Amino acid sequence: MTAQKKKQAAKIESEFDDVVARLIQTNPTELAEAMAAEVLQQRERVNKRFAEARKEIEDGARPRKGRFSL
């Protein structure tokens, strides 16, 4: 293993150790709240897109710019 690869491996290992240390220090309730907030945001985005798609279907798959005429 070259010196450069050893340095990269040591850097990755130290970064991993830092991540594990932060994970251990994390309060489980805070983690659960953060995950729940993210899920709620995703649900809001999905519901918004669902409503937009439903509106497009009701309008005949045309954006809401008025009725189509020839």
Neighbours of 19 (CB within 10 A): 10
63 to each of 4, 50, 56, 58, 69, how far by Cα in Å? Answer: 56, 14, 6, 10, 14
User: What's the pLDDT at 49?
Assistant: 93
Tokens of 13: 């290992």
Residue ranges in the chain assigned as alpha helix (H): 3-25, 28-58
**Residue with tokens 């710019």, as numbered in its chain:** 65
Q: Which tens digit of pLDDT belongs to each residue from 12-68?
A: 777 888 888 888 888 888 888 888 999 999 999 999 999 988 888 887 766 556 665
User: What's the pLDDT at 44?
Assistant: 96
User: What's the pLDDT at 45?
Assistant: 95
User: What's the pLDDT at 58?
Assistant: 81
User: What's the pLDDT at 50?
Assistant: 93
User: What's the pLDDT at 57?
Assistant: 82
How would you write 46-59 as a 3-class SS string? HHHHHHHHHHHHHC
